[in-house]
């Protein structure tokens, strides 16, 4: 048994009953079926589904595309669209809502199951990745030494709290600006530029500099992806 909870949004009663029976047959737990956006939002709040299976065309002022955006914003729920004869403009809007999949009517049971499982896997993987990013961001912000990160164009992508205090700039003020404007030191700029120009992930470069009237041990290191491809450079400033 899968036991994942599904919310079905479908305004045709016979179709809704058929889909609900199929989902139950596959081992899913139904939190309910809604035929309007209002009913769907209430079921999402009370039933806490793992996924929403939604027809694009439903009754009421909001269609399935509008509702998908609302559910994502309020409850961070993945949505799989049920699509039939939607017009091109509606389908374009559906793509912009960033659903986790589509099921074309009429559909086979195996197709429905594969689409739901793929959507759930993708959603959980993204949630783990976002959680890790938040944890890493919180950790970086808490480091007592100043941390400045840039992309390969030497534009600032991150400052931690210590760097904000040191440079007298907030992250919002520094974001996207050239490093040479935010941290105007020729040696730091040279080291970052040399590292960003490398095609591989080079070793950390370390040196000592006096910045804003204080001596710092400076470390310049690559930011690399899992494939060992450089995506940016990080500068660590440790005060003596």
- Name the superfamily (CATH) of residues 5-137: Response regulator (3.40.50.2300)
Q: Give me the pLDDT at residue 53, please.
A: 92
- The residue with tokens 């049971």 is 109
The CATH number for 143-239, chosen from 3.40.605.10, 2.60.40.740, 3.30.450.20, 3.30.565.10, is 3.30.450.20
3-state DSSP assignment of residue 225: coil
Q: Which residues of the chain have pLDDT under 50?
A: none
Domain boundaries, the chain: 5-137, 143-239
**Sheet strands side by side (includes 156-159):** 156-159, 146-151, 230-239, 214-224, 205-211
What is the dihedral angle through the alpha carbons of 145, 146, 151, 155, rounded to the nearest 10 degrees? 180
pLDDT value at residue 94: 77
Instruction: Please say whether the beta carbons of 160 and 141 come within 8 A.
Output: yes
> Please, which residues bridge with residue 207 across strands?
218
The alpha carbon of residue 170 and the mean position of all alpha carbons in its chain are separated, in whole angstroms, by: 23
The per-residue pLDDT for range 131-142, each reduced to its tens digit, is 777 777 777 777
158: part of which helix (H) or strand (E)? strand 156-159
Would the pTM of this model clear 0.75, i.e. be above it? no
Q: What is the pLDDT of residues 174-224, one digit of tens each?
A: 999 999 999 888 888 888 888 888 766 567 889 998 887 888 899 998 887
* 3 state SS of 35: coil
Per-residue confidence (pLDDT) for residue 199, from 0 to 100: 66
């Amino acid at each position: 048994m899968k036991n994942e909870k599904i919310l079905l949004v479908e305004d045709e009663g016979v179709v809704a009953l058929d889909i609900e029976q199929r989902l139950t047959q596959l081992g899913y737990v139904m939190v309910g079926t809604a035929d309007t956006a209002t009913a769907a939002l209430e079921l999402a709040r009370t039933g806490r589904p793992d996924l929403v299976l939604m027809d694009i065309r439903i009754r009421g002022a909001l269609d399935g595309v509008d509702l998908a955006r609302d559910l994502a914003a309020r409850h961070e729920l993945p949505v799989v669209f049920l699509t039939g004869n939607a017009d091109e403009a509606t389908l374009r809007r559906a793509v912009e809502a960033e659903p986790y999949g589509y099921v074309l009517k009429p559909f086979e049971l195996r197709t429905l199951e594969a689409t739901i499982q793929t959507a759930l896997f993708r959603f959980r993987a993204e949630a783990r990745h976002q959680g890790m990013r938040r944890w890493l961001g919180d950790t970086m912000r808490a480091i007592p030494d100043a941390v400045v990160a840039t992309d390969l164009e030497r534009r600032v992508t991150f400052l931690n709290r210590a760097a904000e205090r040191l440079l007298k700039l907030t992250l919002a003020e520094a974001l996207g600006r050239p490093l040479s404007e935010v941290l105007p030191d020729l040696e730091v700029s040279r080291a970052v530029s040399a590292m960003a120009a490398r095609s591989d992930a080079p070793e950390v470069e370390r040196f000592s500099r006096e910045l804003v009237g204080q001596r710092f041990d400076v470390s310049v290191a690559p930011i690399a992806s899992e494939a060992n491809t450089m995506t940016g450079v990080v500068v660590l400033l440790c005060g003596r």
